Chains A and B, each alone.
Chain A
Amino acid sequence: MSDKEPLFSSKNLKLLTNPLNVENPITVQVLGICSALAITVKLEPAVVMAISVMVVLAVSNVVISALRKLIPPRIRIIVQLTVIATMVILVDQILKAFAYDVSKQLSVFVGLIITNCIIMGRLEAFAMSNSPWTAFLDGIGNSVGYGVILIIVGFFRELLGSGEIFGYPIFEKIGIYNIGYENNGFMILPPMALIIIGIIIWVQRSRNKELIEES
């Protein structure tokens, strides 16, 4: 690392943009599916969840990356888990103090960020062997890639399942119920989240042939 690399070199920018598309944690690596099913019934919790994951992942990535030369490899997983758990508890406490309503909505799922495979995966695969700045970018990139999918899924599930967007009854306002439309209760159930993710994967792969595996 003798030659100074600019902060936003094209290599570093790739860390931000790749997870949005060809390395998307949900649609390509198929990680973090459980939370994508659980909190996407409504948009608001999906957005808060995405932000919480972003904070947890970016900070844990930086901490682990800064300590990477000090962490004994034999206990590295325990160290990673401790850092993630600490961050998650902090986020939970801060939400309870400053965004009480939202924290009530997310309830148990904030705590469950600990079990989100994306976070452990990035710490182990990236932060353990890269500098803090690149680890930070990688954390932001991956959590945005995760968040984008949550928000897309949340958008369709809330719109079609409850006829609302961010709690605003949009279908009622434009009078779509008057022509015989009814909310699709199936959208509220977890299987529909999987189906929507499946459709996103389908659309993504049909647009980007590189992602199609040889069979």
Chain B
Amino acid sequence: MKSFSNTYIFVFSTIMVVVVAALLSTAAMVLQPLQEKNIEIQKKRNILSSIRIENNAKNAEELYDKFISDSYVINADTEEKDESLNAFEIEMGLQMKKSPEHRSLPVFISSLDDGTKKYIVPVHGKGLWGPIYGFVSLNDDFITLYGAVFNHDDETPGLGAEINTDWFGAQFTDKKIFNNSMEFISIDLVKGGADPESLNEVDAISGGTLTSNGLEKMLYDCLGSYQTYFKNQMKNN
């Protein structure tokens, strides 16, 4: 075996590192616009799915423009609209890290074909391995959920990752986040089967207990930060 001098080894590794760095940064820069576009489309698809509109990567943008009629950002402190912010660009994950009164809360409003209005809010929380997030839509009574869609980055396939299946999201329809005395109760994920009569229980995921717990907490925290807004809206109705 040939022996190599230390100088050679240093030169070799330096060249290798520079070549690899150049290659990777070029790839990252070239692919970035495509990746960002994908993320934007994914977000629009999630918003559409939360109001139970079938969509795919191709028609998402068109459907989004058709059904999402308005969006604004609520300032959690004053409960007033903040005109300077674009709801679509707000990262709910960053907002949830702030203290409750400093949050800017996006709301998307959709007018469906049957003339009803749905209010869509984003949710963001922690799963077992990484962030989980999604969108929840409410009927215009601001009590009853219309639909929900959840997504995740790193949950275990087949277990925690089941939160983005249709059956899981479909359970949230017609559940209520306020009880009869108008207290905020959020949604409970129940192990061993939810009571079908219950206002706010859905089935948790077997084998995905920690993801389910994270999702329950996410709904409590995120929907909780909207509760004043929801109550104000109910008064206006």
Which residues of A come within 8 Å of B, CB atoms? 38-39, 41-42, 45, 69-75, 78-79, 82, 86, 89-90, 93-94, 96-98, 100-101, 104-105, 107-108, 161-162, 185, 188-189
What is the total number of residues of chain B having a CB less than 8 Å from a CB of chain A?
35
Interface contact A86-B34, CB-CB below 8 Å: no
The CA of A38 and the CA of B161, in the complex, are separated in Å by: 13
Which residues of B come within 8 Å of A, CB atoms? 1-2, 4, 8-9, 12-13, 16-17, 20, 23-24, 27-28, 31, 34-35, 38-39, 41-42, 57, 129-130, 151-155, 157-159, 161, 206-207
Interface contact A73-B35, CB-CB below 8 Å: no
Interface contact B16-A82, CB-CB below 8 Å: yes
**A97-B38, A161-B158 known; A89-B16 Cβ under 8 A:** no
Interface contact A72-B4, CB-CB below 8 Å: yes
- B130: chain A residues at CB < 8 Å are 107-108
Specify the main secondary structure of chain B where it touches its partner. helix
**Distance (Å) between the CB of B158 and the closest chain A CB?**
3
- A42: chain B residues at CB < 8 Å are 157-158
Residue of chain A at shortest CB distance from B38 = A100
Interface contact B9-A75, CB-CB below 8 Å: yes
Q: Which of A73, A78, A90, A107 has the most CB of B within 10 A?
A: A107
10 contacts between A and B (CB under 8 A): A72-B4, A72-B8, A73-B1, A90-B27, A93-B28, A96-B31, A97-B34, A101-B57, A107-B152, A108-B130
**Distance (Å) between the CB of B170 and the closest chain A CB?**
15
Interface contact B153-A94, CB-CB below 8 Å: no
The CA of A158 and the CA of B142, in the complex, are separated in Å by: 39
Residue of chain A at shortest CB distance from B129 = A108
The CA of A45 and the CA of B158, in the complex, are separated in Å by: 11
- A82: chain B residues at CB < 8 Å are 16-17, 20
**A74-B9, A107-B153, A188-B159 known; A96-B35 Cβ under 8 A:** yes
Interface contact B153-A97, CB-CB below 8 Å: no
- A104: chain B residues at CB < 8 Å are 42, 151, 153
- B155: chain A residues at CB < 8 Å are 107
- A86: chain B residues at CB < 8 Å are 20, 23-24
Q: Which of A71, A79, A104, A162 has the most CB of B within 10 A?
A: A104
- B23: chain A residues at CB < 8 Å are 86, 90
- B57: chain A residues at CB < 8 Å are 100-101
A-B CB proximity, top 9 nearest: A41-B158, A72-B4, A97-B34, A100-B38, A97-B31, A188-B158, A72-B9, A41-B157, A108-B154
**Distance (Å) between the CB of B159 and the closest chain A CB?**
7
The CA of A96 and the CA of B129, in the complex, are separated in Å by: 19
A90-B23, A93-B27, A108-B153 known; 11 new pairs, CB 8 Å cut-off, are: A41-B158, A42-B157, A70-B12, A79-B16, A82-B16, A82-B20, A97-B35, A100-B42, A108-B130, A188-B158, A188-B207
